[in-house]
Chains A and B, each alone.
Chain A
Amino acid sequence: MPSSTSSSDSEPVYSRRVPEISWPRVAVVAAFLAAAGVGIWEAAWRIGEHYEASYRNSDGQFAEVRRRVDRREPNATVFIGSSRTQFDIDLDVWQELTGVHGIQLALEGSNPLPILTDLADDEDFAGLLVVGITPPLVLMPGIGSRADALERYYNETPSEWASNKLSYPLERTFAFYNPDAALFRLLERQPWWPEREGLPFEAPEVRKIENMRRDRQSDLWNRVEDDPELNQVVTSTWKAILETLPPPPPEEEARAAFETLLANVARDVGKIRERGGEVVFIRPPSSDWFRDFENRATPRERVWEPIVGAAGAVGVHFEDYPELREAHTPEWSHISSRDKAQWTRALVGILKARMAESGVHRPEIGS
């Protein structure tokens, strides 16, 4: 704080100086060089890394798709779950077989049960809800890393809404416009950084593994399947993430939390049914080390069965159906984009049959 006693009464009207240089020449050079740089950058990602333009899976995109529920689309079918539900379901095939274009609300690395609660509390929803269960994630407290997506749906500002709309044309044009290609993320994952001694191990960020559509359907990026090096990067990331999960809470605490979880599931499913809706559960496939880990840490009879039992709902576990088991999961966790159509076809058939067996008749799926 200057101690001067001068006041503002004599301050002249401020007028900014502009440097006296040839501004048009400077601007043309700057615009040309910047455009050339961006063009080269785009080419490097497309040619060098085989990137394709894809939607960014942003919170705004989630909010936009979530609003379809509010519009009370007839026969709304909503998918919630983690990335497996997002990658494995083919919305076009689903529509071809049921006549309904599903609302894809699954969020990667997330627990779908808080979203189930949210939909149970939403009076606008009375359709069919397909809940994908990924055993380790379903036991997480809260939604997880994508909690902001639901928050965005509730509190999106007009400015955020508009920015999201304006971002779409860029997302479908530029391959580099992807969080995986952002400058500082790119720098951080370079191998030249030495390990800092004493720093606790942290799992790396998940690399780009998908191409997403405007309706939030994600397809596993073919390169994850075709490029052994990238495939290895992705599988080692899954291993690192699972191996660095925090230890489970003490037995007593875990049991109490799971009891609460089951009670919440029963309550939420009950609410949706009261409004005339229905809920079904699916367990999409995993394989190799990932599946072994899941079976060890979260065995089917201790997680999947009780949840489906508490809901009193139809549950389709991939292990029970050869046609669901056969799908190829190149990086252990998501179905190959080449197999997803067939897998979805099989899933719809099984769901129809199971729902019919259970006496559940839903126009959304034609059971």
Chain B
Amino acid sequence: MLFNSLTFVAFFVIVLALHNAPLPWKVKKTNLLLASYIFYAAWNPPFVLLLWLSTIVDWWVAKGIYATEEKSRRRALVGVSIAVNLGLLGYFKYGGFLLENWQALMTAIGVTWTAPGWNIVLPVGISFYTFQTMAYSLDVYLRRARPADSFLDFALFVTFFPQLVAGPIVRPTQLIPQFQEPVRANRNQLLWGLGLMTLGLFEKMVIADGALAPAADAVFGADGAVPFADAWLGTLAFAGQIFSDFAGYSTVAIGAALCLGFSLPDNFRFPYAALGFSDFWRRWHISLSTWLRDYLYIPLGGNRKGWHRTQANLMITMLLGGLWHGAAWTFVVWGGLHGLYLGIERFIRERWGDAKVASTAGFRLFLALLTYFLVNLTWVFFRSKDFPQALSMTRAMLGFGAPDGELVLSTFLVTTVIAVTVGMLIVHWFMRNRRLEEVVARSPWWLTGLVWAGMMFLIVITQGTGNAFIYFQF
């Protein structure tokens, strides 16, 4: 079920009513669990079986790990969790990719072999919930957490509908304790939650789908090479689109949970005002970057094993992070570029991080713009359908494009992209060291009401296209 659908509006009203009805807490939690299954089944009912599989395996695995001190048994059990979750991910998400590459490898060594057709539908959000359940078993294995006492709480943690299909990827220690005691949103939480849902839908429906998607689609859907200006505008449009789409989803998720009385963590903190790439990853898809940090980068040794290992660990983490996003080499290159940026940044910081110039306002602005410029270069690989297109776009953006590239964007689209991009950068810069809650608290009440009304009005008159969120495909 999409947040930007009428079905979700009706569904959420019913869930909210049931959650506020005078029912025992266990019944309310059961309602939420059933609602979450309905939410997921509304795409493709059979895929609920995958959720159940992931839930049951990790429930028993974590119990088994906790019950034994035997190292080999603990290791075997956590191996089961990893194998099942990554196995599901591998089969549904990477099966076709692996076969395709195997075939290419065989051809390269002279073996003629044709891969069988691989028409497997990717279950929505599988990358998110498999990582979430795996974190549960890993936390118990690493003795960071105890297993949940109640299967209902655990099942609800795996399935909780606001963040089930596109995050934030929540840790067991963040969410399971919230299910233990009865919770209901108070009036202010409910209204702030609705406000956040409005903001998220505004980002998705008005900014991402309405204002920016047409330009990004036109440029990345063009048959041939595009000139410098169009390549940049298409990429800037995509940069804004993917932020508004994904941050919009997270904001609706946080708002929906808050309306029910639950707190989900932030997933974005105005990333286009980042000063460097460490800063960028502390602001972009925070729940994934911290997941990768805690369950991949640190177990690999983090920064504790010398300079070369640190650089290698960073690169491995980012390459796998890229692959997490999609089963294509373009995503791996996207991750690789981020790994490279992080490595270079670390190198520069170690040598010149204390230089006086680093703290001047002018340098910080330059650094923010440089970061934004380099991030945009990575988005080209993220969005392009293949390497030839990515290379053609990159060439055009660096001024080496084909001189006969065809214009694709109308004056309307050019104006829209520039206006929205400039507006977005100003907002991100203004909000860089602020929290939305603080800004709202300090604003006159009538202004908050006016802005809220404006967003609702614009959502309604934009009408929406019912497009799925981009991150669903991951």
Q: A and B: partners? A: yes
Closest to B45 in A: A158
Nearest B residue (CB) for A32: B453
* Minimum Cβ distance to chain A for residue B227 (Å): 9
Decide yes or no: A196 and B407 within 8 Å by CB, A26-B445, A159-B5, A182-B461 being known contacts: yes
Asked whether B7 is an interface residue with its Cβ less than 8 Å from the other chain, the reply is: yes
Asked whether any CB of chain A lies closer than 8 Å to the CB of B317, the reply is yes
Q: Name the residue of chain A whose CB is nearest to the CB of B301.
A: A5
A196 contacts B409, C-beta separation under 8 Å? yes
Chain B residues within an 8 Å CB radius of A41: 457, 460-461
- A38 an interface residue at 8 Å Cβ cutoff? yes
Chain A 310-341 interface 0/1 with B at a Cβ cutoff of 8 Å (1 = within)? 00000000000000000000000000000000
**B44 located at the interface, meaning its Cβ lies under 8 Å from any Cβ of chain A in the complex:** yes
A176-214 contacts to B (CB < 8 Å)? 176-177, 179, 181-184, 187-188, 190, 193-196, 198-200, 202
For B411, the chain A residues whose CB sits under 8 A away are 193-196
Instruction: Give which listed residue, A17, A34, A37, A162, contacts B10 with CB less than 8 A.
Output: A162
Residue of A at shortest CB range from B278?
Answer: A2
Is B440 located at the chain interface by the 8 A CB criterion? yes
Contact of B41 among A20, A32, A158, A177 (CB under 8 A): A158
Check B407–A198 contact: CB distance below 8 A. Answer: yes
Given A21-B441, A159-B2, also A1-B189 (CB < 8 A): no
Rounded to whole angstroms, the CA-CA distance of A180 and B147 in the bound complex is 55
A3-B303, A29-B446 are contacts. A196–B191 as well, Cβ < 8 Å? no
Q: Are the C-beta atoms of A163 and B187 separated by less than 8 Å?
A: no
- CB-CB under 8 A from A20, the residues of chain B are 188, 441
Are A14 and B292 closer than 8 Å at their CB atoms?
no
Residue of B43, B189, B342 near A159 (CB, 8 A) is B43
Interface residues of B in 261-278 (CB under 8 A from A): 263-265, 277-278
Whether A17 contacts B462 in the complex (CB less than 8 A), given A1-B278, A24-B191, A159-B1, comes out as no
Q: Are B5 and A11 in contact (CB under 8 A)?
A: no
- The verdict on B463 contacting chain A, using a C-beta distance below 8 Å, is yes
Chain B residue numbers with a CB within 8 Å of A166 are 6-7, 9-10
Residue B184, interface by CB 8 Å: no
Report if A13-B7 is in contact (Cβ < 8 Å); known contacts: A23-B187, A196-B410.
no
B268 to chain A, nearest CB (A): 14
- A30 in contact with B1 (CB, 8 Å): no
Partner of A33, one of B282, B294, B453: B453
Inter-chain contacts of B2 with A (CB < 8 A): 159
Q: What chain B residues lie within 8 Å of A256 (beta carbons)? A: none
Q: Nearest Cβ distance between residue B302 and chain A, in whole angstroms?
A: 5
Give Cα distance in the complex from A235 to B249, angstroms.
Answer: 42
Within 8 A of A (CB), among B122-138: none
A5 and B298 in contact, given A16-B254, A162-B7 (Cβ under 8 angstroms): yes
Q: Does B96 belong to the interface (CB within 8 Å)?
A: no
Given A18-B188, A19-B441, A158-B45, residue A193 in contact with residue B7 (CB < 8 A) = no
Segment touching A, from B152-160, B169-177, B362-370: B169-177
Which of B277, B303, B406 contacts A200, CB < 8 Å? B406
> Is B456 within 8 A of A34, CB to CB?
yes
**How far does the alpha carbon of A182 sit from the alpha carbon of B7 in the complex, in Å?**
20
Contact B317 A17 (CB under 8 A): no
Q: Is the CB–CB distance between B314 and A1 below 8 Å?
A: yes
Type the 1/0 row for A289-303, where 1 means its CB is closer than 8 Å to any CB of B: 000000000000000
Q: Select B304's contact among A5, A8, A18, A32, beta carbons within 8 Å.
A: A5
List 27 contacting pairs A-B, 8 Å CB cutoff, sorted by A.
A1-B289, A2-B281, A3-B278, A5-B303, A11-B174, A13-B263, A14-B263, A16-B254, A16-B263, A17-B437, A18-B188, A18-B437, A21-B440, A21-B441, A26-B448, A30-B453, A34-B460, A41-B460, A41-B461, A157-B44, A159-B1, A159-B42, A159-B43, A160-B7, A183-B463, A193-B410, A193-B412
**Chain B positions near chain A (C-beta within 8 angstroms):** 1-2, 5-10, 41-45, 139, 142, 144-145, 171, 173-174, 177-178, 187-189, 191-192, 194-195, 206, 210-211, 214, 254, 258, 263-265, 277-278, 281-282, 289-290, 292-294, 297-298, 302-304, 310, 314, 317-318, 321, 338-339, 342, 346, 406-412, 414-416, 435, 437-438, 440-441, 445-446, 448-450, 452-454, 456-458, 460-463, 466
Which 6 A/B pairs are nearest by Cβ-Cβ distance? Answer: A29-B449, A33-B453, A159-B42, A30-B452, A19-B441, A34-B456
